[in-house]
Amino acid sequence: MWVVGTVVVGVVVVVVSVILSVACCRQRPAPIQTRVAIPHYIVYNPPPSQVQVAMATPIAIAAPPVATTSSANAASSISGIDPRELVERRELASGVRTSVFACTYRGTTVAVKSLKLPAGALAKHRFLAECHLLARMQSPHIVSYIGVTTPDGLDRSGMLVTEYLGLGDLRNFVASVPLSALSWRQKLEMAHDIVLGLVYLHASGVLHRNLTSRNVLVTDAVRAKLSDMSVAREMDEATMTAGIGTYRWMAPEMLQDGHYATSADMFSFGVLLSELDTHQLPYADHLSASGRAYTEPTVMVKAMTGEFRPTFSYACPRWFSELGAKCMASDPQARPTAMEASYAIELELQCLELSSA
């Protein structure tokens, strides 16, 4: 009799689990029109109880230096790596003002961002600001700071040392693998990592301002981390320079008048969602009547007016494309917050977990 009762209880438990799994996966997140309650598990750092405090006391970024001695004093507070310990240098990327190398530091491969010389005061300030900002970031979704080699100021080439992520940036990664190579779970996990990085930045009072697939790095475990904080700014600056960032990821208000808020970061996140779905460069599928690609200025104007938006594939889950469309809404107020987007993705990840159990 005892054995029969145990079997019956076991059967009931299995049936209830199946019902809950099906119910969860059928109930997709409703359209984000109002603010939703955010569960504790989607905010890693800071915890929800400290979010308002963090918003009230944003991470400080110093004003542009007026003299070389100011830069030297500020740099000395975050220095600590002897450049002679960075060996086996291999160039990864090179830009107008900086170069990025892979180096070996005490037996570990690291990424080194070097300021090119000669460098003006603004370039030095941005480099130093990025060093200070990364030194204060403590999130698993933002590339980890290791140190900086500026013991005697930024007159010589300063070097920012961070963790090295072997799979490179998201743009190159998705362009180099076929659609079938990544499961939807992997894509959702990367999208979740990216938006949780934004949750952390926005709760800390910081705007990324240059969120592109070039500035998202991929780990060996196919997870994502935000990088390139060189143009990040505090939220209390009402208007930002429209020339910063890449227009294919820019919100229309950024292209029109340079106004930037957290909602502009969310527009960029929506563009990244389309890249995770299609693996294509944003707007690459927008062609003229003759079948030719539009010129860059034409794409920028059409993106600014809302005529063009990055697209999603027919195979894309409807909820995912709808979330991307909401993030890329022309009205900044209609876009979800980073917390809201992370909540929607978290629900879908839970459904995948239940359905595979």
Based on DSSP, count helices (H) and strands (E) in the chain, helices before strands. 11, 9
In a domain, 28, yes or no: no
First to last CA, the chain: 30
In a domain, 44, yes or no: no
How many domains would you assign to the chain?
2
Is residue 155 located within the same domain as residue 294?
no
Tokens of 64: 């542009």
Alpha helices, DSSP H only, in the chain? 2-26, 51-56, 68-76, 121-136, 170-176, 184-203, 252-257, 262-278, 296-305, 318-327, 338-356
In a domain, 1, yes or no: no
In a domain, 139, yes or no: yes
In a domain, 42, yes or no: no
pLDDT of residue 246: 80
Is residue 234 located within the same domain as residue 260?
yes
Is residue 81 located within the same domain as residue 200?
no
Domain end among 137, 163, 189: 163
Any idea what the CATH number is for the domain that residue 97 is in? 3.30.200.20
Q: Which residues pair with 172 in a beta bridge?
A: none
pLDDT of residue 231: 52
Which residues are CB-neighbours of 205 under 8 A, at least 6 positions away? 54, 55, 57, 58, 59, 234, 235, 236
Q: In the Cβ-directed half-sphere of 258, how many Cα atoms lie within 13 Å? A: 8
Q: Which domain holds residue 138?
A: 68-163
Is residue 158 located within the same domain as residue 170?
no
Is residue 183 located within the same domain as residue 207?
yes
Is residue 129 located within the same domain as residue 213?
no
Is residue 155 located within the same domain as residue 254?
no
* CA 303/CA 288 separation, integer angstroms: 15
Burial letters 120-131, b for 16+ CB under 10 A, else e: eeebbbbbbbbb
pLDDT of residue 95: 74
Is residue 189 located within the same domain as residue 319?
yes
Any idea what the CATH number is for the domain that residue 209 is in? 1.10.510.10
In a domain, 19, yes or no: no
pLDDT of residue 229: 64
* CA 313/CA 297 separation, integer angstroms: 25
The CA dihedral of 61, 63, 68, 74, to the nearest 10 degrees, is -30
pLDDT of residue 351: 93
Phi, psi of 114, rounded to the nearest 5 degrees: -115, 135
pLDDT of residue 312: 96
Instruction: Give which of 131, 124, 115 is closest to 78, Cα–Cα.
Output: 131
* CA 239/CA 312 separation, integer angstroms: 31
Q: E strand or H helix at 146, and its extent?
A: strand 145-148
Is residue 185 located within the same domain as residue 199?
yes
pLDDT of residue 72: 41
pLDDT of residue 125: 77
Instruction: Give which of 351, 345, 306, 348 is closest to 329, Cα–Cα.
Output: 306
Is residue 266 located within the same domain as residue 149?
no
Q: Which residues pair with 287 in a beta bridge?
A: 293
Is residue 144 located within the same domain as residue 222?
no
- CA–CA distances in Å: residue 188 to residues 16, 19, 117, 329, 350: 27, 24, 40, 21, 11
Domain end among 142, 163, 184: 163
In a domain, 45, yes or no: no
- Residue 330, judged by CB atoms within 10 A of its CB (0-12, 13-18, 19+), counts as middle
Structure-token match 């490179």, residue found = 168
Q: From first to last of the 357 residues of the chain, give the pLDDT tens digit.
A: 444 455 444 544 444 454 445 445 545 444 433 333 323 222 223 333 333 323 333 333 333 333 333 344 444 445 578 888 999 889 888 777 778 899 999 999 999 988 777 667 777 777 887 888 888 888 999 999 999 885 454 445 678 899 999 899 999 999 999 999 999 999 999 999 999 999 999 999 999 988 999 999 999 999 999 997 655 554 443 333 444 348 889 999 988 887 789 999 999 999 999 999 999 999 988 888 888 888 888 888 888 888 889 999 999 999 999 999 999 999 999 999 999 999 999 999 999 989 887
Domain end among 133, 163, 193: 163
* CA 133/CA 263 separation, integer angstroms: 21
* CA 49/CA 201 separation, integer angstroms: 16
In a domain, 46, yes or no: no
* CA 62/CA 160 separation, integer angstroms: 17
Instruction: Give which of 239, 312, 322 is closest to 28, Cα–Cα.
Output: 322
Is residue 145 located within the same domain as residue 181?
no
pLDDT of residue 300: 85
Amino acid at site 183: S
* CA 10/CA 350 separation, integer angstroms: 23
pLDDT of residue 318: 96
Give the predicted TM-score (pTM) of the model.
0.75
